[in-house]
Structure 1
């Protein structure tokens, strides 16, 4: 039973993450605008993914427990290009892509293990702050944030069944709560937009 649950959680997370950012990318492309998307949030999220991927590699955890991160990093880079394109600053994306490519080969020192949680939480708060300030969810996809909530819940299960790493478990609990909060905030301001029209 536990083996089947672990298999389901691992593969469902991979399946969801293969398309996780697509609703957000399609929303930006469809609106031809990056309105509502916090660039600092996106950059912090990308940095958090990179640090977390290096953390997992450093401790040589099972590949299936973090295989979605290269997929998420690639999707974040595509989303970053879209955001820069619609804000008229495509050339500014180049340094971030070079930074990402340069950081993939190195391993994270042991003292970076809590850094990924801090960076990822900061990215969620940056998006929340942007939404609170603008009171406009714009082209932000509630589906993307809801799917991210599911992946965190599933990763809580896989962490408990495989590594029991308290740092990773804490990270996923915090990210689950923050992803739900962002999704609810998006829906709240979307309803406000509909009422005002």
Structure 2
């Protein structure tokens, strides 16, 4: 069997070495040494890391589709997404500038981009009463400008300052989830919150704890993933508790929004029979003249009291 594994095509060999390294490739693939625990853990960590990066590239796509299809961001907290995006961006910059393997932080790149887009969608689809002052377009321009400024700042700050910012991801992770958790509790609904995104984040945090401990060993990064895991589990529990309770609330809110745009006009208290009669009456000059003319025929009248009965032929 080893005669086959040692003579695999060059592109397979190069791919394996690029993922797990030459030492572990020779041990696990060429020599089939399944008892090499160190290389097994390292290879498992690499495999999980690559899977997380690929999953992170589409993790928030269902959330984006939910918002765009419903044309509503009902149930999503804007402060929560702003803080979560900032936390992802700091971790991305910290890992990139410390030259960590891309498989240990790559999903943060995709999550930062997707979260930024979701934040802009929340601003765009927010009810008009929540956007006082300038219009939605100006709000989007300001948000985009602040996002670009934040990206430039994270790329330019000294590495020591970036380490301090990485420490702030712990409270950022906490405060980024608390507004969403509180909003879910108050409305007893999760609105347009994507179950796929929440479940994927729970699985991703579990895997990231393993990959960080195996390949990086950075306590700051591990603590951030541990806290994020705890908060995502709470969101997952809320999804289970409030499942199916968002549709009625959404319809009620949309009905109130439509009613708020209707002009308040005074309505006269007109009896139903009078309104029906007036609506069924059609004006006609001929009919008016005929109705005002005296009748040309006699109508039978009841007999007088004690008199004889009589009748006259109607002309």
TM over 0.5: yes
Match of 1:7 in 2: 46
Match of 2:115 in 1: 76
Select the residue among 148, 152, 163 that pairs with 1:101: 148
Q: Is residue 121–residue 175 contact of structure 1 (8 Å, CA) maintained in 2? A: yes
Which structure features the higher share of helix residues?
A: 1
Query: What 5-or-longer segments of structure 1 have no aligned partner?
Result: none
Larger radius of gyration: 2
More contact order relative to length (CA 8 Å, sep ≥ 6): 1
Match of 1:114 in 2: 167
Q: Is residue 81–residue 90 contact of structure 1 (8 Å, CA) maintained in 2? A: no
Select the residue among 197, 203, 209 that pairs with 1:156: 209
Identify the range of structure 1 (97-106 vs 141-150) with the bigger mean alpha-carbon deviation.
Answer: 97-106
Q: 1:184 to 1:149 in 2, by over 3 A?
A: same
Select the residue among 75, 79, 84 that pairs with 1:45: 84
Matched, 1:167 2:214: no
Shift of 1:134: 1.5
Shift of 1:111: 1.9
Q: Is residue 49–residue 103 contact of structure 2 (8 Å, CA) maintained in 1? A: yes
Matched, 1:190 2:243: yes
Q: Deviations over 1:47-69 (max 9, x none)?
A: 11122222223433222211111
Cα distance in 1, alignment partners of residues 103 and 236 from structure 2:
26
* Aligned residue pairs, count: 197
Cα distance in 1, alignment partners of residues 247 and 63 from structure 2:
19
Match of 1:124 in 2: 177
Matched, 1:27 2:66: yes
Q: 1:192 to 1:182 in 2, by over 3 A?
A: same
Alignment root-mean-square deviation, CA: 2.1
Match of 2:16 in 1: none
Query: What 5-or-longer segments of structure 2 have no aligned partner?
Result: 1-39, 129-135, 252-315
Match of 2:200 in 1: 147
TM-score, length of structure 1 as denominator length: 0.91
